[in-house]
Amino acid sequence: MFDVGGGELLLILLVVLMLFGPKKIPEFMQMLGKGIRQFKKAQEDLTEQIRDLSTVEPTVASTTPPVVVAPASVVPRTPPLTATNEASAPSDATADADADSAAPNPEH
C-alpha cells in the first residue's frame, strides 16, 4: 500500500522531531499506544460477543413453530361460477326432488 523505504522513513521522523520537539514526541507516542490498546480491547469484546451469540442454542425457537400469516392478496379464493361449473352443479329441481323423496310421507 505505502512504498516507504528506509530513507523516506528517516526523513519523516526527522520532520516530526523538528515540528514537535523532543518533549512532545513521547506524549504523542503514549496517546498512540493508548488508542491502539483501546482499539484492540474493543475488537476483542466484539469478537467475544459474536462468539457468545453464535454458541447460544435456539431452544425457544425449536420448540415453538413459527407463525406464518399470508397477506390477503396471497390467500386463494374460490373461482367464480362459469358455464362448466353451472353444468356440474345440481339444479334446483333435482334438489327439490331429492328433498321430497327423503321426507316421510304422512299419507301412507
Question: Quick check: is 33 in a domain?
Answer: yes
0.75 cut: is pTM over it?
no
Question: Quick check: is 52 in a domain?
Answer: yes
| Residue 43: per-residue pLDDT | 96
The span from the CA of 75 to the CA of 68, in Å, is 12
Question: Quick check: is 2 in a domain?
Answer: no
User: pLDDT tens, 36-73?
Assistant: 999 999 999 999 999 988 887 655 555 666 677 766 66
Structural domain for 31, as ranges: 21-56
Question: Quick check: is 66 in a domain?
Answer: no
**Count of the separate structural domains present in the chain:** 1
User: pLDDT tens, 15-45?
Assistant: 988 888 888 888 888 999 999 999 999 999 9
| Residue 3: per-residue pLDDT | 81
